Structure 1
Amino acid sequence: MHTTPAEHVPPAGRRRGRRRFDLHSTAMQFGLLAVLVLMVGLVARVAAGAIGRRPGWIAVLALLVVFVVLAVRRRRRRHSVARLARTTAEALDRATETALDELGPEPAPVAASAPPRAAETVPGTAAGPGEPVPAAEPTVVLPPHHPAIPLPDYDALDPYEFEQAVAALCERDGCTGVEVVGGAGDLGADVLAVAPDGRRVVLQCKRYSATNKVGSQDLQRFGGTCFTVHEAHLAALVTTSDFTAPALEYAEQCGILCLDREALLAWTVGSGPPPWGLAGAS
């Protein structure tokens, strides 16, 4: 008598505890994991550039790594896979947007503002309330062709230096062939020059004090040689003092020009004409 072996039936408890392989669920888990890996790689690449420029992003990345590790540990819980993937995707999206914003164009550097300029006041206009009033500066009005020169202290010069100063005035005002010939045997001439109009100019220089006026005898000695010996077209006597009345009379008779202290200073600063420009010179 043959006995058919009884079929081995697994215990009910073991059959109910074994999990069944689900291909669809496994594929979805691997797909979500692949998307997660790609997004983590993108964020890591973007964040690598941000870290070089903003070190504070290191802390952000550290928090993100901790979050990913926790998420991986929870991925085995089947009922929370979908929710975990959605939450992770949203967190990665926010992190990616923040990283892109940080890597955006930096604001242009603000140009350094120029230091404030001192207030300027137009000549001839009064300063308004609260505006600085410019300090008044002494000015000397000179003709356009006259360079500004400091007013010399003629009283501090010796006779030879005074002759040099008068010669410099002649050169300044366009004379040529200027020569200082004063000294022993000068025959009354101290400075020789050729005026801009071509006339030969002969000057005698008297560096006298204010109380010592040029007298008629000085004019007579000069008048005896300026035209006949030096062949002057224009003769003038220049002094730091003044002339006596007889000296002025003789000079007018002989045609000699007289430049006293006031006329000399006017010539020096350019407010008065040079000897060859005086009215009546011929």
Structure 2
Amino acid sequence: MAAKRKGSPVRRRRKAVIKTAAGALAVMILLGLLRPVLWLYLGAVLAAGGVGWITWRLWRTDRLLRNGDADWRRQDEIAAGQRTLAAVDAMTGTQFEQLVAALCRRDGCTEVRQVGGAGDNGADVLGRLPDGRTMVIQCKRYAPHRTIASREVRDLLAAKVHFAADAAIFATTTRFSRQAEAFASGHQILTLHRDFFGLWNNGTPLLSLAEVNGRGQGRATHQSRWKQTYSK
């Protein structure tokens, strides 16, 4: 029996084209039927994305406004001298350094920057006084009943040498021991004990406090009241 002849190449190509066209037509029909559903899902995704983006923008704007308002209020309190020593006592050490830097800027100091932290070489704030002299500041936000020891003032003197500063300032929320005060006075270190810092915080210019540096920390009556107020 003779073998069945296959179709000619032309017929085979024709059938292939017909099958391809039929498949494409079927896909087009299917997409046409599903198009409303696809557009629905696509619209839902775009709407959800839009709502999410708007929500994020509103949240971010609110945060920026809140942070900006808080910064403005802090700067306004500093400028007006309305921040109480009780509020200063509640600060962290880093916040106290930030306050000292802000008070320096308020009084016309320039190039003020915080350098406190690990390996700070005994300095917390650096900058220039309004008269152009370079300065190094040590900040100690201690509880009022504590006392600054002379070794801490010596560390500041070492920092002054290390940074080749013209002036050294020790700002604290407590008082200095007699030895620490004597050492500071002998080495022209400005000591801002609690009383002087309170004046600075309330608006007295920094250089004005330098004029009364080394005048002591009050008479015996004042120191007795100090101990009664801040003793444990």
Structure with greater strand percent: 2
Q: Which digits, 9 at most, give the CA deviation of each residue in 1:156-190, with x for residues without a partner?
A: 00101100000000111111111000011110110
Q: Which digits, 9 at most, give the CA deviation of each residue in 1:187-244, with x for residues without a partner?
A: 0110011111111111100111111110111111111221x21111110100000000
- Cα 1:147/1:280, change in 2 over 3 Å: closer
1:247-262 alignment runs, 5 A limit: 247-262=180-195
Work out which structure has the larger RCO, using CA pairs closer than 8 Å and 6 or more positions apart in sequence.
2
1:264 to 197, 200, 218: 197
Misfit runs of 4+, over 4 Å: none
1:151 to 83, 90, 93: 83
> Does the 8 A contact of 1:259 with 1:275 survive in 2?
no
Residue 192 of structure 2 aligns with an amino acid whose one-letter code is: L
Q: Which digits, 9 at most, give the CA deviation of each residue in 1:113-139, with x for residues without a partner?
A: xxxxxxxxxxxxxxxxxxxxxxxxxxx
Query: What SS does the aligned partner of 1:192 have?
Result: strand
The reply on whether 1:202 has 2:136 as its aligned counterpart is: yes
Aligned counterpart, 2:169: 236
Per the TM alignment, residue 252 of structure 1 is displaced from its structure 2 partner at its CA by 1.3
Structure with greater helix percent: 2
> Does the 8 A contact of 1:174 with 1:195 survive in 2?
yes
Per the TM alignment, residue 264 of structure 1 is displaced from its structure 2 partner at its CA by 0.6
> RMSD value over aligned CA atoms?
1.8
Residue 260 of structure 1 aligns with an amino acid whose one-letter code is: H
Aligned counterpart, 2:105: 171
| Alpha-carbon distance in structure 1 between the residues aligned to 2:212 and 2:133 | 15
| Alpha-carbon distance in structure 2 between the residues aligned to 1:195 and 1:257 | 13
Residue 176 of structure 2 aligns with an amino acid whose one-letter code is: F
> Does the 8 A contact of 1:171 with 1:178 survive in 2?
yes
| Alpha-carbon distance in structure 1 between the residues aligned to 2:112 and 2:208 | 14
> Does the 8 A contact of 1:206 with 1:239 survive in 2?
yes
| Alpha-carbon distance in structure 2 between the residues aligned to 1:236 and 1:275 | 11
* Higher Rg: 1
> Does the 8 A contact of 1:200 with 1:233 survive in 2?
yes
Aligned counterpart, 2:145: 211
TM-score w.r.t. the length of structure 1 is 0.45
| Alpha-carbon distance in structure 1 between the residues aligned to 2:197 and 2:165 | 20
Unaligned runs of 5+ in 2: 1-77, 214-232
- Cα 1:192/1:276, change in 2 over 3 Å: farther
| Alpha-carbon distance in structure 2 between the residues aligned to 1:276 and 1:177 | 20
Residue 204 of structure 1 aligns with an amino acid whose one-letter code is: Q
Aligned counterpart, 2:229: none
| Alpha-carbon distance in structure 1 between the residues aligned to 2:182 and 2:135 | 21
| Alpha-carbon distance in structure 1 between the residues aligned to 2:112 and 2:194 | 22
Over the matched positions of the two proteins, sequence identity in percent amounts to 40
- Between the two proteins, the alignment pairs up a number of residues equal to 134
